Amino acid sequence: MKRNRLLLFILFATIFNVKSQSKIMLRLGYVPVSANIKFTRYNNIILNDSLENKNVEVGVIFGKTAPFPNVLSKKFDKTIKQSQVFYKRRDFVNAYKILEKAYKEEPNNLFVLENYAKALYKIDKLKAKSFEVYKSLIEKSDKINIGRDSLLIVKKEGQLIPQSNDEILLIDAWFPEAYWKLGTLYMDEMNWEKAMIEIGRFLHLCTDNNENKAVLEQAMAYLAECAFELHNEELTSLYVKKTLAINANNTYVKNFIK
């Protein structure tokens, strides 16, 4: 019975209502990370209008990421954009240093937080600080997005309204890299449950085109490891199979096969 419900969710989801305004095409995915999660709420996407309130198969492109605001901060917009220039040049020290004042003065600005955190992440001795900033970014993003009138994807199990926020996996299409890096930082801390959630959120925004195969392989392998450490045999098996489907020669996940 449990497997039938799982199969139904793999095949179909129902899409409801999004208000937003593009770059990355988003493909409906199936990334189970917790038995408690029954809904996925996407924010900052533009929905393909023809799909609203429809049953949609996994793999269908359902929308695009919304464009970033032209101005990321009234006071520090130029600073953020200069940090991005430094980051592209791999000058990570200047990329984070130029944002230190902005971080102190605008600790609730998600664009300040993201650019600051990702520069810190690239410097080994500052990984702990990056972890702190990434957690703050995602916590603030979740608080902003939980109440928004945005895209809701529902598992086809009869329940159409969330009973609590714990049943909703929130996904902000603007911050896939933040989910990925936060997930890896949780893995470093051996916080497998939270790592699985964050990497799962990242995978909901990672399309399955050929350019992303290596990224998908690594993410699936990490989910297999998290599930293994959580003694969840069903999800371990699922993500081992998904990893090997991408690369049959992957040796990393073979550690998790009993």
Band of the pLDDT at 16, cuts 50, 70, 90? very low
What's the mean pLDDT in 233-238? 94
Question: What mean pLDDT is predicted for residues 12-35?
Answer: 54
Look up the pTM and report it.
0.86
Q: Residues 194-207: what's their mean pLDDT?
A: 90
pLDDT of residue 154 exceeding 70, the answer is no
The helix (run of H) or strand (run of E) holding residue 213 is helix 213-229
Task: Say yes or no to pLDDT of 23 above 50.
Answer: no
Q: Classify 77-142 by CATH class.
A: mainly alpha
Categorize the per-residue pLDDT at 8 as very low, low, confident or very high, splitting at 50, 70 and 90. very low
Write down the pLDDT at residue 113.
99
- pLDDT tier at 26, thresholds 50, 70, 90: low
Residue 164: pLDDT above 90?
no
d(CA 11, CA 127): 39
Q: Is the pLDDT of residue 152 over 90?
A: no
Whether residue 3 is predicted with pLDDT greater than 50 in this model: the reply is no
Q: How far is CA 242 from CA 163, 208, 223, 226, in A?
A: 31, 12, 10, 14
Long-range contacts, 161-167 (Cβ 8 Å, 24+) = 162/38, 162/39, 166/36, 166/37, 167/36, 167/37, 167/38, 167/39
Q: Which two tokens stand for residue 82?
A: 């200069």
> Does residue 13 carry a pLDDT above 70?
no
pLDDT at residue number 11: 35
Greater pLDDT, 29 or 4? 29
Residues 145 and 170 sit within 8 Å (Cβ to Cβ): yes
pLDDT of residue 132 exceeding 50: yes
Please give the share of the chain, as a percent, with pLDDT higher than 90. Answer: 57
**Mean pLDDT of the residues in the chain:** 84
Question: Where is pLDDT greater, at 116 or 158?
Answer: 116
Whole-number pLDDT of residue 15: 42
Asked if 60 contacts 207 with a C-beta cutoff of 8 angstroms, the reply is: no
Q: Which helix (H) or strand (E) holds 121?
A: helix 110-121
